[in-house]
Amino acid sequence: MKIAHLPSKIITLIAIGLFCFLSSCKTNIPTDVPLGNARLLVVNSSPNSSAINVYWTGNKLNVVPLSYGNTTGYRTLTAGLRDIQIKSNLNNKLLAANTIKVKQDSSYSFFVYELNNTVATIIGRDDLSNPAVGNAKIRLINLSAGLSSADILITNGPELASSISFGSIGSFLELKAGTYNLDLRLHGSNTILLTIPNVRLDNGKTYTIWSGGAVKGSGSTALSAQIISL
Protein backbone atom coordinates (compact mmCIF):
# COMPACT_ATOMS: atom_id res chain seq x y z
CA MET A 1 0.00 0.00 0.00
CA LYS A 2 1.40 3.34 -1.03
CA ILE A 3 1.19 6.36 1.26
CA ALA A 4 0.60 9.61 -0.58
CA HIS A 5 2.81 12.47 0.50
CA LEU A 6 1.39 15.98 0.13
CA PRO A 7 3.69 18.60 -1.30
CA SER A 8 5.19 20.92 1.31
CA LYS A 9 3.48 23.96 -0.27
CA ILE A 10 0.03 22.39 0.23
CA ILE A 11 0.84 21.53 3.84
CA THR A 12 1.90 25.13 4.43
CA LEU A 13 -1.32 26.47 2.89
CA ILE A 14 -3.42 24.12 5.04
CA ALA A 15 -1.58 25.26 8.18
CA ILE A 16 -2.10 28.93 7.30
CA GLY A 17 -5.79 28.34 6.62
CA LEU A 18 -6.25 26.51 9.91
CA PHE A 19 -4.51 29.32 11.81
CA CYS A 20 -6.70 31.96 10.18
CA PHE A 21 -9.83 29.95 10.97
CA LEU A 22 -8.90 29.59 14.62
CA SER A 23 -7.94 33.26 14.84
CA SER A 24 -11.26 34.38 13.36
CA CYS A 25 -13.13 32.18 15.83
CA LYS A 26 -11.20 33.70 18.70
CA THR A 27 -12.04 37.26 17.69
CA ASN A 28 -15.73 36.39 17.80
CA ILE A 29 -15.51 35.59 21.52
CA PRO A 30 -16.54 38.67 23.53
CA THR A 31 -13.77 39.81 25.85
CA ASP A 32 -15.38 42.94 27.30
CA VAL A 33 -18.06 41.82 29.75
CA PRO A 34 -20.43 44.72 30.54
CA LEU A 35 -20.14 45.89 34.15
CA GLY A 36 -23.55 47.54 34.34
CA ASN A 37 -24.32 50.91 35.89
CA ALA A 38 -24.16 52.56 39.30
CA ARG A 39 -25.39 55.97 40.49
CA LEU A 40 -23.26 58.65 42.14
CA LEU A 41 -24.30 61.90 43.83
CA VAL A 42 -21.55 64.44 44.60
CA VAL A 43 -21.86 67.13 47.29
CA ASN A 44 -19.59 70.14 47.74
CA SER A 45 -19.37 70.46 51.53
CA SER A 46 -16.10 72.41 51.54
CA PRO A 47 -16.96 76.01 52.52
CA ASN A 48 -13.51 77.48 51.90
CA SER A 49 -13.03 76.11 48.41
CA SER A 50 -14.21 77.88 45.31
CA ALA A 51 -16.78 76.21 43.11
CA ILE A 52 -15.54 72.83 41.94
CA ASN A 53 -15.80 70.55 38.94
CA VAL A 54 -15.97 66.78 39.23
CA TYR A 55 -14.36 64.43 36.70
CA TRP A 56 -15.22 60.74 36.43
CA THR A 57 -12.60 58.82 34.41
CA GLY A 58 -11.73 62.13 32.77
CA ASN A 59 -15.30 63.15 31.94
CA LYS A 60 -16.91 66.12 33.65
CA LEU A 61 -19.94 65.15 35.74
CA ASN A 62 -21.45 68.50 36.71
CA VAL A 63 -23.23 70.72 34.21
CA VAL A 64 -22.51 73.95 36.11
CA PRO A 65 -19.71 74.63 38.64
CA LEU A 66 -20.60 73.02 41.96
CA SER A 67 -20.61 75.67 44.70
CA TYR A 68 -20.65 75.03 48.44
CA GLY A 69 -23.78 73.25 49.61
CA ASN A 70 -24.85 72.09 46.16
CA THR A 71 -25.06 68.60 44.68
CA THR A 72 -24.85 67.08 41.23
CA GLY A 73 -27.92 64.96 41.84
CA TYR A 74 -27.54 61.30 40.95
CA ARG A 75 -25.51 60.57 37.83
CA THR A 76 -25.65 57.16 36.15
CA LEU A 77 -22.13 55.84 35.56
CA THR A 78 -20.37 52.66 34.52
CA ALA A 79 -19.73 50.49 37.58
CA GLY A 80 -16.30 49.19 38.56
CA LEU A 81 -13.03 50.64 39.79
CA ARG A 82 -12.92 54.23 38.58
CA ASP A 83 -10.87 57.42 38.96
CA ILE A 84 -12.52 60.58 40.27
CA GLN A 85 -10.92 64.03 40.37
CA ILE A 86 -11.98 67.28 42.03
CA LYS A 87 -10.72 70.46 40.39
CA SER A 88 -11.16 74.14 41.16
CA ASN A 89 -13.43 75.89 38.71
CA LEU A 90 -11.38 79.05 39.27
CA ASN A 91 -8.04 77.83 37.93
CA ASN A 92 -8.52 74.12 37.16
CA LYS A 93 -6.18 73.21 40.03
CA LEU A 94 -6.41 69.58 41.11
CA LEU A 95 -7.79 69.58 44.67
CA ALA A 96 -8.29 65.86 45.27
CA ALA A 97 -8.08 62.58 43.39
CA ASN A 98 -9.23 59.10 44.32
CA THR A 99 -9.87 55.70 42.86
CA ILE A 100 -13.19 54.33 44.05
CA LYS A 101 -15.15 51.16 43.44
CA VAL A 102 -18.86 51.36 42.74
CA LYS A 103 -20.99 48.26 42.35
CA GLN A 104 -23.56 47.56 39.69
CA ASP A 105 -27.14 48.63 40.54
CA SER A 106 -25.98 50.52 43.65
CA SER A 107 -26.21 54.20 44.59
CA TYR A 108 -23.58 56.29 46.38
CA SER A 109 -23.07 59.74 47.88
CA PHE A 110 -19.62 61.32 47.51
CA PHE A 111 -18.75 64.30 49.72
CA VAL A 112 -15.99 66.86 49.20
CA TYR A 113 -15.01 68.48 52.51
CA GLU A 114 -12.11 70.11 54.36
CA LEU A 115 -9.59 68.32 56.53
CA ASN A 116 -6.68 70.25 58.06
CA ASN A 117 -6.90 72.99 55.41
CA THR A 118 -6.86 70.50 52.56
CA VAL A 119 -9.65 69.05 50.44
CA ALA A 120 -10.69 65.53 51.39
CA THR A 121 -13.40 63.18 50.15
CA ILE A 122 -15.61 60.46 51.55
CA ILE A 123 -18.03 58.07 49.87
CA GLY A 124 -20.95 56.13 51.31
CA ARG A 125 -23.34 53.61 49.85
CA ASP A 126 -26.96 54.78 49.89
CA ASP A 127 -29.52 52.29 51.16
CA LEU A 128 -32.55 53.20 49.08
CA SER A 129 -34.68 50.24 50.12
CA ASN A 130 -38.16 51.26 51.22
CA PRO A 131 -38.72 51.86 54.93
CA ALA A 132 -41.75 50.40 56.66
CA VAL A 133 -45.09 51.97 55.75
CA GLY A 134 -45.51 55.28 57.56
CA ASN A 135 -41.76 55.68 58.15
CA ALA A 136 -38.84 57.60 56.70
CA LYS A 137 -35.10 56.87 56.88
CA ILE A 138 -32.39 59.29 57.92
CA ARG A 139 -28.64 59.32 58.60
CA LEU A 140 -26.05 61.86 59.76
CA ILE A 141 -22.73 62.71 58.12
CA ASN A 142 -20.39 64.79 60.28
CA LEU A 143 -18.29 67.15 58.17
CA SER A 144 -18.06 70.08 60.61
CA ALA A 145 -14.55 71.17 61.56
CA GLY A 146 -14.05 71.09 65.32
CA LEU A 147 -16.93 68.66 65.87
CA SER A 148 -14.96 65.58 66.87
CA SER A 149 -18.05 63.46 67.54
CA ALA A 150 -21.67 64.38 66.86
CA ASP A 151 -25.13 63.35 67.96
CA ILE A 152 -28.39 64.31 66.32
CA LEU A 153 -31.64 64.11 68.20
CA ILE A 154 -35.22 65.22 68.06
CA THR A 155 -35.64 68.38 70.14
CA ASN A 156 -36.73 67.22 73.60
CA GLY A 157 -36.80 63.70 72.22
CA PRO A 158 -34.69 60.63 71.43
CA GLU A 159 -31.36 60.42 69.62
CA LEU A 160 -31.38 59.53 65.94
CA ALA A 161 -27.61 59.16 65.62
CA SER A 162 -24.89 59.03 68.25
CA SER A 163 -21.11 59.47 68.28
CA ILE A 164 -20.60 60.09 64.57
CA SER A 165 -16.94 61.08 64.35
CA PHE A 166 -15.70 63.86 62.09
CA GLY A 167 -15.39 62.69 58.50
CA SER A 168 -17.68 59.71 59.08
CA ILE A 169 -21.03 58.55 57.74
CA GLY A 170 -23.65 57.24 60.14
CA SER A 171 -26.06 54.39 59.52
CA PHE A 172 -29.63 54.87 58.36
CA LEU A 173 -32.34 54.86 61.00
CA GLU A 174 -36.09 54.57 60.49
CA LEU A 175 -38.52 56.87 62.27
CA LYS A 176 -42.13 57.85 61.88
CA ALA A 177 -42.71 60.26 59.00
CA GLY A 178 -43.51 63.79 60.13
CA THR A 179 -42.05 67.25 60.75
CA TYR A 180 -39.41 67.60 63.45
CA ASN A 181 -37.03 70.06 65.03
CA LEU A 182 -33.61 68.41 65.21
CA ASP A 183 -30.65 69.27 67.42
CA LEU A 184 -26.97 68.80 66.63
CA ARG A 185 -24.91 68.16 69.74
CA LEU A 186 -21.31 67.43 70.65
CA HIS A 187 -21.27 63.83 71.82
CA GLY A 188 -20.88 63.55 75.57
CA SER A 189 -22.21 67.06 76.13
CA ASN A 190 -25.63 68.53 76.83
CA THR A 191 -24.83 71.66 74.83
CA ILE A 192 -26.87 72.02 71.65
CA LEU A 193 -24.66 73.45 68.91
CA LEU A 194 -27.33 73.89 66.27
CA THR A 195 -31.09 73.47 65.93
CA ILE A 196 -32.51 72.53 62.54
CA PRO A 197 -36.17 73.58 62.55
CA ASN A 198 -39.13 72.14 60.67
CA VAL A 199 -37.44 69.15 59.08
CA ARG A 200 -40.07 67.39 57.00
CA LEU A 201 -39.56 63.65 56.60
CA ASP A 202 -42.05 62.15 54.17
CA ASN A 203 -43.45 58.64 54.21
CA GLY A 204 -41.26 56.22 52.26
CA LYS A 205 -38.41 58.69 51.72
CA THR A 206 -34.71 58.42 52.55
CA TYR A 207 -32.64 61.39 53.73
CA THR A 208 -29.08 62.41 54.51
CA ILE A 209 -28.37 65.21 56.99
CA TRP A 210 -24.83 66.51 56.71
CA SER A 211 -23.26 69.04 59.03
CA GLY A 212 -20.79 71.49 57.54
CA GLY A 213 -18.86 74.63 58.36
CA ALA A 214 -17.00 74.80 61.65
CA VAL A 215 -18.02 74.83 65.30
CA LYS A 216 -16.21 78.16 65.74
CA GLY A 217 -16.84 79.39 62.21
CA SER A 218 -18.72 82.48 61.09
CA GLY A 219 -20.19 83.76 57.86
CA SER A 220 -19.72 81.22 55.08
CA THR A 221 -17.91 78.86 57.47
CA ALA A 222 -20.51 79.00 60.25
CA LEU A 223 -21.74 75.70 61.63
CA SER A 224 -24.61 74.52 59.46
CA ALA A 225 -26.61 71.49 58.42
CA GLN A 226 -28.31 70.56 55.18
CA ILE A 227 -30.74 67.82 54.22
CA ILE A 228 -30.66 65.82 51.00
CA SER A 229 -33.60 63.75 49.85
CA LEU A 230 -32.17 60.67 48.15
Three-state DSSP at 217 gives coil
User: Which segments of the chain have a pLDDT < 50?
Assistant: 1-4, 6, 10-16, 18-33
Per domain, the residue ranges of the chain are 34-126, 130-230
Q: Which residue, 211, 202, 150, is CA-closest to 180?
A: 202
For the full predicted model, state whether its pTM sits above 0.85.
no
Fold for the domain defined by 34-126: Immunoglobulin-like (2.60.40)
pLDDT at position 34: 54
pLDDT at position 40: 97
70's enclosing H/E stretch is none
Using CB atoms within 10 Å of the CB of residue 117, give its burial: 0 to 12 exposed, 13 to 18 middle, 19+ buried: exposed
The CATH number given to 130-230 is 2.60.40.1120
CA dihedral for 202, 38, 111, 188, sign (positive or negative):
positive
pLDDT at position 30: 39
pLDDT at position 32: 41
pLDDT at position 78: 93
Q: Which residue, 222, 68, 59, is CA-closest to 145?
A: 222
pLDDT at position 220: 85
The H-assigned helical ranges of the chain are 8-27
Same fold, 34-126 and 130-230: yes
